[in-house]
Structure 1
Amino acid sequence: MTGPIDLVLIYAPLVILGTTCLWLLVATRRTSAAIGRNAYGFGGTPRQRLAQILFRLAVAGGLAAVACHAAGLSWFAVRPLDGETLGLQLVGVVVALAGQGLTIYAQGDMGRRWRVGVPDVAPDRLVTTGLFEFSRNPVFLGMLAMAAGLAVAVPSPLMIACALAFWVACELQVRDEEIFLESAFGQDYRDYKHAVRRWI
């Protein structure tokens, strides 16, 4: 018989990642409509294309990993590694859920200035309030927490590889965004960068 904790451990990772992906699609479309152009700005440089590929592989692989976990498949790549306790898996679910909440809340702080990738045109102002007073990248910070939490909740080789790929993609993306924002906002961004840490 499957108890409530077992059900959480089986299905929560899929629900968390699936709803976050749907939310990102809706948020990007909503922002695109609000600004009158595509808010999705990947491409241009080889590093941007690499970041885009890594993000896509990490998300697609992560969805596959948590879906296979929920379906009870036991292939090597999607089978959780031995030795992890239920308590640690529950901690992973909580961290993933907190990361999801942080991501959504931080994106709300950006409003119509939300972008995916490096856009062709800079937003009308630099966002430095709300969670951005404490981290220059709270959206990515939330996503990284979610990826780490999912890798702990579902510690399969595929999920761990996807979390690592997502981390590398974030590192590449953040550096490109910093170059773009400095060129767009000049001294204002340099002052902000000096005052607020990249992550926490």
Structure 2
Amino acid sequence: MDDKTLGGIALATMVAFLAVAFGLRAVLHHRRTGTTGFHGVSGRPGSAEWWGGISFVLALVLGLVAPAAQLSGAVAPLAWSRSPVVTIAGGALALAGIVLTLAAQHAMGSSWRIGVAAGEATELVTSGPFALVRNPVFTAMITAAAGLVLLAPNFVALVGLVMLVLAVHLQVRLVEEAHLRATQGQGYLAYAERVGRFLPGIGRLRTNPTNNTAARKV
């Protein structure tokens, strides 16, 4: 397939992914709970939390712009990407990431949220994919994004992928983990001690018994 065709496939895949993972998911969540689950960007403008949310939105926008730019011919794929092996690997990663994202969202049930609301405590989900990693939705989303980059790789796509990884780390470390420690207490700390952050066994927390705070396990 030529470069523009791959850009079109990547763009269509990204649009479908966003429509299902965010649009359809929000509709189904509203029917189930009466709320869409969207809480927006946390933190005061300019704070690390705020930048995490803004970076996440920008990363999703770049995920659409990159394949669209390749489809239009505005940007060219990177030289190393012109290989059937890279294309096949990208398609496989994208498909696996999308399926795993939807599966992890489903496993969250009524606890699914985008962003956090101060004081809101949802059920702590620790089963299914959450028994392997604490943030399987984000892990799967990054996997899907990496696959789409390989499917239609260009400079804009790489910038979007890097921004997504940074945004997810900021959101999880500075916003969601602090929120879960505040609302779930020892239940979350015990869970985080045994389950990795994004990959099994990596990024577990350890509790400091002297001051009841948590630090990342190296």
- Give the TM-score of the pair, scaled to structure 2: 0.81
**Mean Cα displacement is larger for which, 156-165 or 34-43?**
34-43
Is this contact kept in 1: 2:62–2:160, CA < 8 A? yes
Q: Which structure has the highest helix share of the two?
A: 1
Aligned residues: 193
Is this contact kept in 2: 1:65–1:158, CA < 8 A? yes
What residue number does 1:99 align with? 97
What residue number does 1:173 align with? 171
What residue number does 1:189 align with? 188
Distance 1:133 1:86, change over 3 A: same
Secondary structure at 1:116 match in 2: coil
> 2:117, 2:27 → 1: CA distance?
15
Q: Which amino acid counterpart does residue 156 of structure 2 have in structure 1?
A: L
Secondary structure at 1:168 match in 2: helix
Q: Within 5 Å, which residues of 2 pair with 1:118-137?
A: 118-137=116-135
What residue number does 2:78 align with? 81
1:4-54 Cα distance to aligned partner (Å, 9 max, x none): 798973443122211111111221233244333451123341233212211
- Give the TM-score of the pair, scaled to structure 1: 0.87
Q: Which amino acid counterpart does residue 118 of structure 1 have in structure 2?
A: V
> 2:15, 2:141 → 1: CA distance?
13
Q: Where do 4+ consecutive residues of structure 1 move more than 6 Å?
A: 4-8
The answer to whether structure 1 residue 18 and structure 2 residue 15 are counterparts is yes
Is this contact kept in 1: 2:41–2:54, CA < 8 A? no
> 1:61, 1:6 → 2: CA distance?
18
Secondary structure at 1:117 match in 2: coil
> 2:31, 2:181 → 1: CA distance?
26
Secondary structure at 2:72 match in 1: coil
Unaligned runs of 5+ in 1: none
Distance 1:95 1:44, change over 3 A: closer
Higher relative contact order (CA 8 A, sep 6+): 1
Distance 1:145 1:80, change over 3 A: same
**Mean Cα displacement is larger for which, 178-187 or 121-130?**
121-130
Q: Percent identity?
A: 31
Distance 1:41 1:87, change over 3 A: same
